Chains A and B, each alone.
Chain A
């Protein structure tokens, strides 16, 4: 069986005169977390809805778990779990009854259903409140209940729309950790978000959406190389004259830019790892190295720079 679980080619969707999605190609493999990033209204949710057959595409081909969601939506929906943006549950029912309802709709046999629900609820650490009404749940608990539904369904693909929307930092962290464990189980996961730094931590590959198209796609490092002009970021703390230091670094081979991030802190962007070269240059110049650290290129920065560049051109 193929490892590619989601494949879309030339996907299009029109709302009136407006192209919400305008020719998107993407693939997601088993055991991979794929992030859809972009501003609101860039076409992320529309793309997701087309992938699971909740909206008809106006053009292009889709294959999810080997089935076409337009021709065979039931086959797709039974193998894909979906956690919508700001997921809702029936407040007057307990978490168990909520999951029972969707579990039955998903065609899980009654004999197996309760065991699956309990296992899933234990995994998202909601086992103690399984019989409480969902009305008593916090936002974070609801999102976790949404994950429990995905676990219960035993799907091969999980599609999560803005899973961290409206969560506090602690809940966000917990939720993302749980999503990571789903990937380790061999699920293909696609998630959309506009909260970037958190998402960066768990995504294997990301696609940046802009006006219904995928602007750039790849690992975070690849994007950084493309957008920022370098995949490696160094932070250098020194009490040496920043101007002189900046001039020094700029002369090094492979450095694409040097900026003063904060007083006494320089940020060096380069195409490859420059730690040694930078340290040697500083020692030679007699500058004290207070701190020298390589940091992950931030998705936030890539994102901001990309869209700044776009608007700058426009």
Chain B
């Protein structure tokens, strides 16, 4: 096929600007923002209550704002793991099919731009909205922490917090690209939303159970394991391998590794491997970063992979409505 002339990115900035401003003004965004804000702040508030009474001198007091849970209330992280996908799907499920349904698609594509620009601009616009929302929330929590705890966060805590923010955005990007893929494939926004939510439920709630089940079949418990009453290491490793196909697992591991500096590994550890280690001693920032790096790049890679799939399917789609 002949090569096309002109840049595929021409116009993506204009699409980005429009999408970004549309999202920020849309009532849907307002609902999502408030939902996240209220639940997030609620969770953090409870964590603060706990921190004020129990913790005397934790060097990473601030990070515990994000991870501590109190009875009856999930931790801020758990809230985020649940709400980021919801927000991303909410932003993306009607991005492409909405244009078809409003009959604006052919009018926009009749302008001198490629489809690439439209898809990329829309993805960027929604991701920027998501990032702004998360950043706001992040700043609010830091502010709340300063106000209620009365201790400023250390430089390292801020650094870890920023990495955590980037991981959260990458996690959002994965679900956003899933939602956009659904919006390319399904012509009806309702179907697209259902499909995206279905994928999310499957990967977040059901997949871990399936992973355990499969691992149990592939590596049945050895006699030794049965004798000791613990699963054998291969089984755990395989189960973990499978579970990591779910972005939720990757997000959970990456965030815990970053926000709980004492985390050394996510896998199976033998006693001889931790010989000499000081139990509960925190890793340095760079060590923690190394620890979560595979999870972080895994999230990015899956976002890119799913985006590429929606890109291919969008390029092949007929414009006529």
Q: Which A positions have Cβ atoms within 8 angstroms of B?
A: 45-46, 49, 52, 54-55, 70-75, 77-78, 80-84, 86-92, 101-102, 104-107, 146, 149
- 5 smallest CB-CB distances across A and B, nearest first, come from A88-B103, A82-B110, A105-B111, A78-B112, A74-B6
12 contacts between A and B (CB under 8 A): A49-B319, A49-B320, A52-B110, A71-B3, A74-B113, A84-B106, A88-B102, A89-B104, A102-B108, A105-B112, A106-B111, A149-B107
A243 CA / B96 CA spacing, docked (Å) = 65
For B2, the chain A residues whose CB sits under 8 A away are 70-71
B35 sits at the interface (CB 8 A): no
Min CB–CB distance A112 → chain B (angstroms): 15
Q: Closest residue of chain A to B98, judged by CB?
A: A90
Q: How many residues of B contact A (CB 8 A)?
A: 28
Q: B319 → chain A, closest Cβ, in Å?
A: 4
Interface string of B124-167 (1 = CB under 8 A from A): 00000000000000000000000000000000000000000000
A90 and B104 in contact (CB under 8 A), knowing A49-B320, A54-B319, A101-B18?
A: yes
Residues of B within 8 A of A (CB): 2-6, 10-11, 14-15, 18, 22, 26, 102-104, 106-114, 318-321
Assembled-state Cα–Cα distance A71/B5 (Å) = 7
Cα separation A88 to B109 with both chains bound (whole Å): 13
A74-B109 CB under 8 A given contacts A86-B103, A104-B14: no
Query: Are the CB atoms of B102 and A91 closer together than 8 Å?
Result: yes
- By secondary structure, the B interface counts as loop
Among B3, B4, B106, max chain A CB count under 10 A is at B106
Contact of B110 among A84, A91, A101 (CB under 8 A): A84
Contacts of B18 in A (CB 8 A): 101
Q: Are A102 and B111 in contact (CB under 8 A)?
A: yes
| Contact residue among B3, B4, B107, B111 (Cβ-Cβ distance under 8 Å from A84) | B107
List 6 additional A-B contacts (Cβ < 8 Å) besides A78-B111, A82-B107, A107-B112: A49-B320, A54-B109, A74-B112, A77-B110, A80-B110, A87-B103
Known contacts A78-B112, A105-B113; is A88 also within 8 Å of B107 by CB? Answer: yes
Contacts of A105 in B (CB 8 A): 11, 14-15, 108, 111-113
